[in-house]
Amino acid sequence: MGKRLILVLALALIVGLTFSAAYAEVQNVKVSGDILVSGVNRNHFNLNNGNAAKSDKSVLKQNFLMSQVRLRVDADLTDNVMATVRLINERIWNGQNDSGAASTNSGEIDLDLAYVTLKEFLYSPLTLTVGRQEIKFGNGLVIGNAKVVGTSSSIPTDLTERKAFDAIRATLNYDPLVVDLVYAQTKQSNSVDRNTISLTGINAAYALNKKTDVSVYYWLKKDNNTNLSIGTSRPDQLSTVGALISNSSIENLTTSLEAAYQFGRNTETTNQKKHNAWALQAMADYTFAKVKTTPKIGASYTYLSGGTTSPNDTRNAGWDPLFYDQKLNNIVYTLLPFSNMSAFNLKGSMKPVDDVTVSLVYGYYGVAQKNSAAFTLPHTYDNGTNYYGSGTPNRGSYTGKSYLGSALDGTITYDYTEDVQFGLTGGYFLPGNALTTDAANATQLIGSMKVVF
């Protein structure tokens, strides 16, 4: 019933906006969207080679086809008032088995975006955006992905297209200064009082000149933990402050440096501690613009602090990943937590022929803090509800050594037309001596076709 109701309302919205020329408040309507069809093959994502129970083969190996469809409507209403709605359907190919039950497959249509934009609200520099919207600042180190579980329980969360926040965003444009104020509700329970997670923050970006931009930010994540069985009656309040500087003074070279610090009090366990964590990220990319094949090279370094769990330590130095939106190497950011990490990445790309791009990304990953109790596995979901490696057999534990592993990704994209793109990406992760495993290497191969309209 819910699926049909959303579909009817969506069609009513499109038809109503399209044929409402008689109403002066509707000045323009734009319909757009995209269709992404992918074939996915994954092996040994629990890094276990031969000791898995037969019932756990779905974790060891995954083969499936899936479709991700988005339909967007943008309507210009009265002056400076706009409304945006985007519907999404993500589903594993499963014939006509479109039941919404989590145990089968999901043919349901869900809201991906739904917001109103009020330009020059109250006075000209202010733009107000209210509703479900995508929010990303800088390189996505801190804010960029709300980590929404996919609409289909059978689609891995790291592959979902859903990233939007339910938020209120006020943008003050005092060119060259732009200030964003954001309030987002990332978790809300209507059955348990105060069982919420909220995000409040400010991001101020200033263009020093045409080649240099500086951003500073402050974010407060407030988690009202209602698990009284472990003695938590006060909310966990985590503050994150940071700055990002980007520069392109040298022709064809772009660089950035970002640093952030987290503080506050952790009340997630009976052993309450103060947050005291750091993150640092440096990036550089260079394009050989005068070379026929347009080669590009890049390098980056990412540091995310780790901490101990000693009862005598009053600090929690483990970096909280918040709502990051980065995936420098595909498999690593699916398997390992975005915390207690020291990563070096090298990348390169070129266009051997027109409309074809070939790229490679290599990563070397180690821990920031060598402490077996502080390194937790895993981080992301394999199907929207269960963690990779959860239960038996587990993916292993941290040995106390430094080397987590190395990763290599290769991608080929072919622009068939301006609207159609084919892609093939392969990934390989070699676990290091910091992980106790059966020495199985994780692999991934994804072929895709995307149409944008």
The DSSP secondary-structure symbol of 432 reads -
Task: Give the three-class secondary structure for 360.
Answer: strand
At residue 203, the pLDDT reads: 98
Give me the residue spans of the domains in the chain.
2-452
* Residues of the chain falling short of pLDDT 70: 1-25, 48-60, 95-107, 148-154, 188-195, 225-235, 267-272, 308-313, 371-397, 436-439
- So what's the pLDDT on residue 95? 59
**Cis peptide leading into 431, omega within 30 of 0?**
no
The DSSP bridge partners found for residue 276 are 263
The predicted pLDDT at position 58 comes to: 42
Q: Tell me, what's the pLDDT at 317?
A: 84
* Beta-carbon contacts of residue 9 (< 8 Å; ≥ 6 apart): none
Specify the pTM.
0.84
Q: Which helix (H) or strand (E) holds 132?
A: strand 126-133
CATH of domain 2-452: 2.40.160.100
Beta-carbon contacts of 100 under 8 Å, excluding residues fewer than 6 positions away, are 2, 3, 106, 107, 108
Tell me the per-residue pLDDT of 137-182, one tens digit each, with 9 for 90 and over. Answer: 999 999 999 876 544 456 777 888 999 999 999 999 999 999 999 9
Given CA atoms 228, 231, 234, 237 in this order, what sign does their dihedral have?
Answer: negative
Predicted pLDDT of residue 377: 44
pLDDT score for 250: 95
For 32-88, give the DSSP string: EEEEEEEEEEEE-TT--SS---GGGHHHHEEEEEEEEEEEEEEEE-STTEEEEEEEE
